[in-house]
Structure 1
Amino acid sequence: MPVISVDLGDTLVAFTPRRYELIYEILKDHGYTFSLRKVYRAYVKVMAKHNFPDENGVNPFDVRDFLYELGIKPTDEKLIMEINGIKRGDEYFLLEDAEDFLEWAKSKGYKIVLVSNATPRAKKVVEELGLNKYFTQTIFSFEVGLVKPNPKIFSIVTSRVGIPIYHVGDIMEMDYAGAERSGLRGVLLNRFGFYDFGVKSLKDLTKD
């Protein structure tokens, strides 16, 4: 059976409020006028520099490095403390195109593997939203000690299930780049227009 791998956050499930959106609001409160796209790209660029997870099981995030990427001198301790104090979003919901995509993939006979940079909470989310029934394997960063864009996390997919036809995810610097570095085809889900290429919806992948 053919294999595809898929990301979780903002690919299948939305976790809100999004951390980068809260950072964007804090920066506005401090008088900075960066676009949300610029904040997002700096945010993911900093995290994508890491191939191994922090103590929570996800990509480390260095606020000073993030501010440097935006051209801000990382000397404002109040700003740094505010950003460091942001908590991860408590609310989550299944995105509207997710279940149709998973049902389509299942009907086509694909083995579906979830590959997610995630804390242990993600297992509960997947279970509560009834997604386990779609996945042949779930590979979480907190369990395997690797985070995308490390290509080794995709080697786990290959060794356990088979070589995926493609990996689909919403972060170019992690999902797309990680898949491509591992020799797989990356498919970028560009939901919010933060990139200049990619599909806009999972529905675009179900068209014959």
Structure 2
Amino acid sequence: MIKAVFFDLYETLITEWDGNQKKAVYSTDELGLDSKIFKAEWDNRRELRMNGTYPDHQSVLKDILNSHGKSSDRDMIEKVHQKRIWAKTVPFQEMHPEVIELLATLKEKGKKLGLISNCAPEEVSSWSRSKLADYFDAVVFSYEEKVAKPSPEIYHIASKKLGVTPEEAIFIGDGGSNELVGASEAGLKAYHATWFLPETISKKINGFPKLNHPLELLDQVELAHH
């Protein structure tokens, strides 16, 4: 019996993309680092950004600048920080109507809803003000829990928050961070959300039932009862 449904956030409930372009792009030119160098440094720190090692976005920027022997001017860092906050707010402003309908229907059916997101603080600064927040009974942000997907621990923390066993829950995500494998290893049934993904990326993930539209999940929840 499925009592709870856990969702990933980016590219599952909301998307940063419009076709093959990001909805919101910002530059980090103020930092005085070549953009390719900055991106490489940024990507290298992904795990530490997600698991809360860095307390905030500003401290990541300072660390990158320090590693290149550059001084970190507070105003300059704040400018880049505000641009990132803006870019991460944009995906929350436009909701896929079917996603909202799915959440509302699951709630009507008495399912508990949980969110499990690998994120840093600035990426979810708009969460509490978004339409989505009202539907969720428990929210697990990796930076707060100091553990990130695909570690089974984060799924167990989420299950405990909702008072269900992993076997009583399902997880839906776009598959980033190897999250479907992690969910499966933690004991949850995992589904691959492909509605925001280009086919080329969607094809790379196999071994999990694919959902091409949000409302397709409802049939799966019903089937899981029988």
Fold shared per TM-score above 0.5? yes
| Aligned: 1:55 with 2:54 | yes
| SS of 2:104 mapped into structure 1 | helix
Instruction: Give the aligned partner of residue 79 of structure 1.
Output: none
Which residue matches 2:63? none
**Aligned-pair Cα RMSD in Å:** 3.3
- Unaligned stretches of 5+ in structure 1? 23-29, 31-43, 59-84
CA contact (8 A) 2:50 2:119 kept: no
**Alignment: residue pair count:** 158
Q: In the TM superposition, what is the alpha-carbon distance from 1:2 to its structure 2 partner?
A: 1.1
CA 1:143/1:136 → structure 2, altered by over 3 Å: closer, same or farther? Answer: same
Question: Scaled by the length of structure 1, what TM-score is found?
Answer: 0.63
Q: Residue 130 of structure 1 aligns to a residue in which SS?
A: coil
**Alignment-mate amino acid for residue 110 of structure 2:** G
Partner residue, 1:146: 147
Q: Report the Cα distance in structure 2 between the residues aligned to 1:174 and 1:95, rounded to whole angstroms.
A: 24
Deviation of 1:157 (Å): 1.5
Partner of 1:202: 214
Partner of 1:108: 109
Q: Check the 8 A contact 1:94/1:129 in 2, yes or no.
A: no
Q: What displacement does 1:137 show?
A: 0.7
SS class of match (1:102): helix
Quick check: 2:118–2:142 contact (8 Å CA) kept in 1? yes
Which is worse superposed, 146-155 or 113-122? 113-122
From the CA coordinates, give the structure whose radius of gyration is larger: 2
**Is the partner of 1:186 in helix, strand or coil?**
strand
Q: How big is the shift at 1:53?
A: 5.2
Question: Which residue of structure 1 lines up, in the alignment, with residue 134 of structure 2?
Answer: 133
Runs of 5+ in structure 2 lacking a partner?
Answer: 27-35, 37-42, 58-79
109-118 vs 171-180, which moves further: 171-180
Contact kept in structure 2, 1:2 and 1:165, CA below 8 Å = yes
Instruction: Measure how far apart 1:14 and its partner are.
Output: 1.6
Q: What is the alpha-carbon distance in structure 1 between the residues aligned to residue 161 and residue 137 of structure 2?
A: 10
- Residue matched to 1:174: 178
